[in-house]
Structure 1
Amino acid sequence: MFFFAQSSFAQGTIKGTVYDDNSGETLIGATVILKGTSTGITTDIDGNFSFQVNQNPPLILVINFLGYTPKEITVNSFSEKIKVNLGTDQVMMSEVEVVGSRISEKSKQAALTVESMDLIAIKEAPSGSFYESLGNLKGVDVTSASLGFKIVNTRGFNSTSPVRSLQLIDGVDNQSPGLNFSLGNFLGASDLDVLSVDVIAGASSAYFGPGAFNGVIDMRTKDPFLFPGLNVSLKAGERQMFEGAIRWADVIKNKEGIEKFGYKINLFYLTANDWEADNYNAVDDSPVTTENYSGYDAVNIYGDEVTTGGNNYTTNLDYPGLGRIYRSGYKEVDIADYDTRNTKANLGLYYKLKKDLILNYSLNYGNGTTIYQGDNRISLRDIQFLQNKIELKKENKYFLRFYSTHEDAGNSYDAVLTANIMSDIAKREGNYYKDYAAFYRLNRNQLYDQGMPNQTEFSDTRPNITDYIGDDGVINFDAFAAANVQWRQGIAGAQNEWANDNPGAMQDYNATIRRATEESALEGEYPFFKPGTQRFDSLFQDVTSRLFTDNGSRFYDKSALYHAQGEYIFDLDFGKIIVGANGRLYTPDSRGTIFRDTLTFTRERIMEIDPITSDTTFKTVKTDSTFTKITNWEFGVYAGYEKKFIDETLTFKATLRMDKNENFDAVFSPAVSLVYQLGENHILRGGVSSAVRNPTLADQYLYYDVGRATLIGNLSGFDSLATIESFNEARNTGANFAWNKLNYYSVDPIRPERVQTFEVGYRGTVSNKIYVDAGYYYSIYTDFIGYNIGLDIPYAPDNPLPGNFTVYRVAANAQEKVTTQGASIGVNYYFLKNYALTTNYSYNNLVSGDDDPIIPAFNTPKHKVNIGVNARDLTTDFGIFKLKNWGFGVNYKWIDGYLFEGSPQFTGYVPSYYLVDAAVSANFKKINTSVKLGASNLTDNRVYTVFGGPYIGRMAYISFVYEWLNR
């Protein structure tokens, strides 16, 4: 009884409220922890907290909130109602981290190289999604390949395949195992479960590994011990968009009343009509314009590309008015699946072995359909991801983490390749040009009847051979031939001039010739498959259901990655030491549709016609396949040292990491930094960091025919590839191909890419209302990985024109160093108690490397500006009623125009554009519900953020969020 009485006396409840010291408003989501333990909670929507402890007062509480100075208070009695006032700390020197250091729990509040979104910023994101709103942060670029696929990049070399940035969710790499980069937030956390997001700009390999080359997107989700309860979100918007999410978390106590087991369940679903890619301008390197009567290569029409030479009839007298011929091809809107869907599910189980030692298991599942843009436009249809993670962690001391990611491409297919295959089944490219030219020549009298000059009209000016007989009776055949050429050129000039003056007649005539070409079908050919017909649907289903190796366009990808990592922190008298190691195994399985992991025989496709209904179906003759297995492993070890000097105003940090991939030599990435507090409100920083990027699986093993070129990995090197420029010169020299004009080059095997970055920065406050954050960086890339384009042409000097050659895009390293530089500045002004004006400017520039044989694909605006204004916790009296706890946010973004270098099909200039995101929200505390009405791209300014992608318009929405904390 005595023991029971003592235990009962020791158990009590601590209650209180956390306030903003300046405004007096309550703070939602502040963490309140019993010092020396993991016991605690976060404040609710009223800023209140309440939790039980099993110790006698006096007790010490530690209160933290993003952007505020941490505070410790003493609780002398369970009966007292605690009131905590936190003051803003806009410098936060004590926890500054630099590039190359792990972002710890404390450092989230102040890292100079980190742009952050806290719990409130995530809720108030005006664009409607925290992931899309990352683009409003300083130095962060977000591009949209589709409504469901958004990409985050930092510090240049932006790509729809962001292999130079790492995306983590609770320490787990969120990449696709086969593609080696994250598919946006397709497999990720919903807004309801995200606690904070840090975007770390710059080389960060030392602790994050070789994937953290230009930056890290580090997302943390809510702990069920700190965020128990029910959350429900419903959102509806334009383009038939609907989004629903639910989060349930709870904590189970043991017999002693101590919280031991926590769990959470998240479900998320999104559906919408995706943006359509309908850019029908000519591709960037097109030799003709959209005015060419016999067609042109359009950006978002596929199957119209010219990959075979010999179809330019501009100066041929037998084809008046005819230039270069292009097939019709298919618009993306006819062959892509724009029915965007995304389902995500998460299960998290947490068990406290000790008060500060937690064993965690989590399961993440993602499924859906969207459009991804890589080297081609890809319809990701029914793609699936599955992640498992188990982790043992003692906060700020050590962790052991194991996870795996498995993917299944489902029914995903290449939209560009689909169009090429369907066009080829109807009529092979070379045959199309021959038939078009033949019909054009045979029917040219239709043009003469409409007034085009005929050869007979120039008969009186035709050179007479008798005029070229010399006094010695010898005919000057050279002069006669030259005169004939000149006479024929004059006729061609007159005919082309007439054609230009009569565009309507030429368009009608070429349309007639195109119909005749596409309706004619010799043996082994079929009439053109028109969208909307049963014939088209049947062939489309057949092509997209068959793998690349089966003469189809569907991917097979059941790749996986397995990862293990451990870390330990030593707090010693002479400084803090961090050591760790990780290992990873990739097991790609694409069956030859992406990598060189299969050998298959070509299968012949046949068409069958139903004798009753006349419906057509397509089948292929089955053959056997032989598969080759690919695996790839890598590991790394790292160590870091941190020490404070001069009364803890100067922080020194040094880190070193070694990484080894099975196909490459070991590489090292060191980092050193100094951070100095100058006075109370100013911080100066300088550092040198480095990173390494091992070639991806694609850089090593890729073998992928995208139509205009074959993309290949490069483990062994390539010999004797002809340059594109010399090939064009050789074929344009005369009637025959000039083999002596070809220039050949070789490509060394691919090597790891390295970067060194020099950075300086300043952060400080002025008059307690103006906050300034500025920095400059200069990066030097060694063995920068890009790609070369060359032709493999079998040498045949007797051939008038090569008929069998392959265009390769080869992964390659730059021959010289590639350098970039950039600067950014952000200024926030806090005024009128509840208002804030936020501005930032970013500058990025490719200093050198654009003249290297490789294509660097910097793909980054030189200038970018964000200007925003927001307010929260406002109260307005409308007379009839008073609206409390409402707020708004508006952000204006301006992006400088830039050249986007993608695949041959998707390289072009992205013009300057602006976007306005806005939202207004209200929080009804009595019913635990908030309502938000907003829009991304409010002015419906149609822009594309990636060349070849869709024009992005307005997305207006309304959302309802219910939040109930189970305390």
Structure 2
Amino acid sequence: MIKKMLLFAFLVFGSATMLAQTIITGTVKDAKTGETLPGANIKVERKAVGTNTDFDGKFTLNVSDVPPFVLEISVLGYKTEKVEVKKNNQNIAVLLSENETFLDEIIVSASRTPERIMESPVTVERLDARAIKNTSSPSFYDGLENLKGVDINSNSLTFKSVNTRGFATFANERFMQLVDGMDNSAPGLNFAVGNLLGISELDVKSVEILPGASSALYGANAFNGIMFMRSKSAFDDQGVSFSLKSGITSQKAAGDNEFKDLNIRMAYVFSNYFAAKATLSYLKGTDWYATDYRDEVDASSTSHFNNTAYNGLNVYGDEVGTILDFDAISGAPVGTFGATRVTRTGYTDTDFMNNEAKSVKFGASLNYRPLGDDRVEVIFNSKFGTGNTIYQGQNRYNIKNFTLAQHRLEVKGKNFFVRAYTTAEDAGDSYDTRFAAINVNRMWSTDSNWFTEYAGAYLGAAASFGVPGMNHDAARAFADRARLSPGSPEFNAAKEIVVNDPNLLTGAKFQDQTKLYHGDANLNLRDYINFAEIQIGGSMREYRLNSQGTIFTDYDGPISYTEAGAYIQGQKRMLDDRLKVTASARYDKAINFKGNVSPRISLSYAVGEDKRHNFRASLQTGFRNPTAQDQYIGLDAGSGILVGTAPDNIERYRSLPYELGINPALAGYINAVAGTTIGATQVLTGDMAYNNSWTVSSLQAFAASRNPADLKKSNIDFVAPEYVTAYDIGYRGVLAGVTIDINAYYNKYEDFIASKNAAAPLYGNVNFSDAVDLGPATGGAQGITPLALIAVANGDYKGIAFDSNSDSDISSYGLGIGLSKKVMNGFDLGFNYSFAKFEEAGGTDPDFEAGFNTPEHKIKVQFGKTDLFENFGFNVNYRWQDEFLWQSSFYDGMVDARSVVDAQINYTIPSLSSVIKLGGANLGGKEYFSAPGVGATGSQFYLSWTIGN
């Protein structure tokens, strides 16, 4: 009986299934040329069921849906068409019209709702999958530099920071990167990992960049610009894709080196309810060598020859120096031999950088549509990346086996999303190259021993060893006689010990396992409110800093702090949809700072019968909360100490013990007379550094004048958020076949966050309230002297960099012009020009540096054609920028003007769904620097094969 019932059920449901089968056939063609379009996507509206056209532009689709229903037909670069299916076995012919210009493309970032770029109320730059295919750059991330107003600063082959509208750094705290809504920054180290551990090139659906303030919708750190990278859908972009790219990088210092870049993407739809996606990327190559050996003070000097105090830019360990008073050492009368500053012999950047660029990225998502269509989708997504790169901040860091993991759970629908994710970073085996060199030096000879031997040899004490006296080169050679030779087994063994030791007195490793927890939500009320499109939303974030005291002051355990915000936006269309008014406001509160409101209002107006001329104007505000490092860093970087200025951080900070240079006998005398406790070492506390220090400029003035009255006490406020008010006007449209996009902006900053430098004596008060009579100890050579001046004379002081807020009046302004046109029967010609300038005045801090770090003029030109002849295309990009001043804690210096040409040719093999591309970056071969101290960027040549993308 049961068998008969099962057989009956099978026949009933099987018959129902067969009856429900609907077959649609058809052809998809270009509406203008009549040519068939292979690879067009055909799918049931709001469902994942679909197929693609074959090489002849034909398709057959079998679905279980019963007519009537709607098909969506789309292909990249064409307008999507919808066709109603009214019966089974229907044959349809579809003509797709090509987007006339990029202004017809749809974006979502500007207003958190879909709209054409033409209608956007603010400036937007965009790169889609078609542009990625045609880019002449080695990767889509490099290709962003060809967009109007976009700068890319290269730390290394795999670490490049995107920036807009000035104030660039390699960490780029003022510019936010989001991948599918997740912040792509390392929460503790404070830099955006970008293409090192970001999104796979095969999975990129689009990249949208909003230059300028965006805090009204996106919160605290959307201050100077924001970049949205969106990945392809597991439901809508099915199949397997593969790409292999191989080639060479060429640089004078590093030679020619092979690199490989492999990407795999797989997406599969199990049913209308379930889909999954996975991506894997692997890149390996050789990084650009950094070989800028100019002295940081005297740029004409590149070694210790005739420069005993040499401190090379890409040489480390030579920061360790002292003033050798040969008269005092020898007991000779003052002026006999004199005094000279001498630094230790350092090691080069390449001695401590392995220069292996590597990136491994894996991502996977599970997608569930509980209603069987796109009305609601649940996404669980995990991303994991690890790699090696180079990062230049206060020092240069060898980032080795760095890892970043992100996990996201999101529920989204047509009008809402709710998202939560976590980010966890691990510094892995990363280390500071400056401390690596300093401490390898100290392993074979302590500083005290090395300087003693140098002084003795100079004064003739090593004459019996054949070392001539009064010869600095000979004295250095004698003190260096046991120096570890780079690459030797002894050097490698010492290096291995140092780079795995997190104690900066003896090692160089930095540890960090910081985590971030973030949640945000958005609801569009357009289905409930008719008079305008209203959106509401909010976010919350928690940081848990965990460097075990090596970066932050988390000596006793992780430091936690939170930020939260909420926003509302209204958008109203009027005057026959020609006028669009958008107004929004956001309130944010961080635990360490007062709350802040960020409003934005924008207007756009379409002119012309076909609304092809759009004028826009916006007033936006932005703010930036101080970063984790601004607030809680406590790091001795060798060349200076970095201390965050959150109030509780000042209370917590304690340095490692510093060896004092004061003569022990003199220290003993001072202790006996003044009741002090000056010993062989001294710990610098946050209170000492913050409340008992001078400005660096006044210390420099004192060094020149020897007048104590020139010394001025530092006055540094606790760091607070910075603010910007941004005015933006623009025009987008088409005139005589030329697509035009013009914008101009003016930004006014308040409480600009910047580093303020101070110098703290390791003993004595900077107000000179404590002094001793040194006459009995010096035979009357000195009288009553403040202890702080004694500290300075003996080199017993430390430079400290605090993050605080400037009272300077800072503004920036600029202009962007973008033009594009089809010329000579289908060739694409594009041109854009950017102008950027900043002004600073009225500040009371002579040590303030704004760090605009942006060229004043930039020109970019593009020329190419996707179908020069059948299946063959090419593209050429040219970029020029003028020289500019780069200011950073690492080094201040000019960056030369440069011209760069990138080019590629590509061949499509439709039968294999493949594209072969041959290209090169910086074809002229003239190497250039993104900033002083980084490796010079050379040329890169590649051959790639992409299947199924």
Partner of 2:8: none
Aligned partner of residue 725 in structure 1, secondary structure:
helix
Question: 1:686, 1:760 within 8 Å by CA — same for their partners in 2?
Answer: yes
1:891-940 CA-partner distances (Å, limit 9, x unpaired) = 0111211111111x332111111111111110111122211111111122
Aligned mate of 2:925, from 913, 920, 940:
940
Partner of 1:740: 709
Question: 2:118, 2:614 within 8 Å by CA — same for their partners in 1?
Answer: no
Aligned partner of residue 402 in structure 1, secondary structure:
strand
1:762 aligns with 2:724: no
Partner of 1:333: 350
Partner of 1:517: 479
Equivalences for 1:87-126 in 2 at 5 Å?
87-90=98-101, 92=103, 101-102=111-112, 104-107=113-116, 111=120, 112-126=122-136
1:873/1:92 CA distance change after superposition, 3 Å: closer
1:567 aligns with 2:522: yes
Give 1:871 shift.
0.9
Give 1:870 shift.
1.3
State the alpha-carbon separation in 2 of the partners of residues 56 and 872 from structure 1.
Answer: 40
Partner of 1:621: none
Partner of 1:558: 513
Give 1:670 shift.
0.8
1:701 aligns with 2:720: no
Question: 1:305, 1:326 within 8 Å by CA — same for their partners in 2?
Answer: yes
The amino acid that maps onto 1:344 is: K
State the alpha-carbon separation in 1 of the partners of residues 389 and 842 from structure 2.
Answer: 33
Equivalences for 1:263-342 in 2 at 5 Å?
263-283=276-296, 292-294=306-308, 296-305=310-319, 308=322, 318-319=336-337, 324-342=341-359
Partner of 1:752: 721
Of 276-285 and 666-675, deviating more is 276-285
1:659-682 CA-partner distances (Å, limit 9, x unpaired) = 111111111111000000011321
Aligned partner of residue 411 in structure 2, secondary structure:
strand
Question: 1:789, 1:808 within 8 Å by CA — same for their partners in 2?
Answer: yes
Give 1:417 shift.
1.7
1:740/1:424 CA distance change after superposition, 3 Å: farther
Give 1:199 shift.
1.2
Aligned partner of residue 480 in structure 2, secondary structure:
helix
C-alpha RMSD over aligned residues: 3.0
State the alpha-carbon separation in 2 of the partners of residues 790 and 147 from structure 1.
Answer: 35
Equivalences for 1:711-730 in 2 at 5 Å?
711-716=642-647, 718-730=690-702
1:410 aligns with 2:421: no
Question: 2:261, 2:282 within 8 Å by CA — same for their partners in 1?
Answer: yes
Equivalences for 1:215-294 in 2 at 5 Å?
215-238=225-248, 239-253=257-271, 259-283=272-296, 292-294=306-308
Question: 1:68, 1:90 within 8 Å by CA — same for their partners in 2?
Answer: no
1:554/1:698 CA distance change after superposition, 3 Å: same
Give 1:646 shift.
0.2
1:776 aligns with 2:744: yes
* TM-score with structure 1 setting the length: 0.82
Question: 2:422, 2:517 within 8 Å by CA — same for their partners in 1?
Answer: yes
1:826/1:888 CA distance change after superposition, 3 Å: same
Question: 1:108, 1:198 within 8 Å by CA — same for their partners in 2?
Answer: no
Give 1:181 shift.
3.1
1:390 aligns with 2:400: no
Equivalences for 1:171-186 in 2 at 5 Å?
171-186=181-196
Partner of 1:471: none
Equivalences for 1:814-833 in 2 at 5 Å?
814-833=806-825
State the alpha-carbon separation in 2 of the partners of residues 560 and 285 from structure 1.
Answer: 42
Aligned partner of residue 206 in structure 1, secondary structure:
helix
Partner of 1:891: 877
Question: 1:91, 1:764 within 8 Å by CA — same for their partners in 2?
Answer: no
1:596-649 CA-partner distances (Å, limit 9, x unpaired) = 001xxxxxxxxxxxxxxxxxxxxxxxxxxxx23300111111111011000000
Give 1:193 shift.
1.0
State the alpha-carbon separation in 2 of the partners of residues 135 and 953 from structure 1.
Answer: 16
The amino acid that maps onto 1:146 is: S
Question: 1:93, 1:677 within 8 Å by CA — same for their partners in 2?
Answer: no
The amino acid that maps onto 1:423 is: N
State the alpha-carbon separation in 1 of the partners of residues 210 and 758 from structure 2.
Answer: 37
1:432/1:22 CA distance change after superposition, 3 Å: farther
Aligned partner of residue 417 in structure 1, secondary structure:
helix
1:545 aligns with 2:515: no
Partner of 1:456: none
Aligned mate of 1:345, from 362, 366, 380:
362
1:576-604 CA-partner distances (Å, limit 9, x unpaired) = 11011111111111011110001xxxxxx
Partner of 1:523: none
Equivalences for 1:371-770 in 2 at 5 Å?
371-395=390-414, 397-427=415-445, 429=447, 432-433=450-451, 435-442=453-460, 510-519=472-481, 527-548=482-503, 551-571=506-526, 572-598=529-555, 627-679=556-608, 680=610, 681-716=612-647, 718-733=690-705, 738-767=707-736, 769-770=737-738
1:148-176 CA-partner distances (Å, limit 9, x unpaired) = 11111111111100111111111111111
State the alpha-carbon separation in 2 of the partners of residues 944 and 94 from structure 1.
Answer: 35
Partner of 2:860: 866
State the alpha-carbon separation in 1 of the partners of residues 868 and 814 from structure 2.
Answer: 38
1:269-314 CA-partner distances (Å, limit 9, x unpaired) = 111111111111222677977663435221111111266556799x
Partner of 2:947: 962
Partner of 1:168: 178
State the alpha-carbon separation in 1 of the partners of residues 44 and 20 from structure 2.
Answer: 14
1:632/1:25 CA distance change after superposition, 3 Å: farther
1:159 aligns with 2:169: yes
Give 1:847 shift.
2.1
The amino acid that maps onto 1:653 is: T
Give 1:3 shift.
8.9
State the alpha-carbon separation in 1 of the partners of residues 340 and 24 from structure 2.
Answer: 84
Of 66-75 and 324-333, deviating more is 66-75
State the alpha-carbon separation in 2 of the partners of residues 153 and 207 from structure 1.
Answer: 19
1:815/1:166 CA distance change after superposition, 3 Å: same
Partner of 1:463: none
Aligned partner of residue 746 in structure 1, secondary structure:
coil
1:859/1:694 CA distance change after superposition, 3 Å: same
Give 1:184 shift.
1.9
1:856 aligns with 2:850: yes
Question: 2:384, 2:405 within 8 Å by CA — same for their partners in 1?
Answer: yes
Partner of 1:84: 95
Give 1:806 shift.
1.3
How many residue pairs get aligned? The number is 848
The amino acid that maps onto 2:866 is: R
Partner of 1:927: 912
1:15/1:822 CA distance change after superposition, 3 Å: farther
* TM-score with structure 2 setting the length: 0.84
Partner of 1:912: 897
1:902 aligns with 2:895: no
1:685/1:569 CA distance change after superposition, 3 Å: same
Give 1:373 shift.
1.4
Structure 2 unaligned blocks of 5 or more? 1-10, 249-256, 328-332, 651-689, 766-770, 772-785
State the alpha-carbon separation in 1 of the partners of residues 105 and 247 from structure 2.
Answer: 44
State the alpha-carbon separation in 2 of the partners of residues 30 and 578 from structure 1.
Answer: 34
State the alpha-carbon separation in 1 of the partners of residues 300 and 450 from structure 2.
Answer: 19
Partner of 2:829: 837
State the alpha-carbon separation in 2 of the partners of residues 81 and 284 from structure 1.
Answer: 75
1:557/1:675 CA distance change after superposition, 3 Å: same
State the alpha-carbon separation in 2 of the partners of residues 672 and 593 from structure 1.
Answer: 44
Partner of 2:6: none
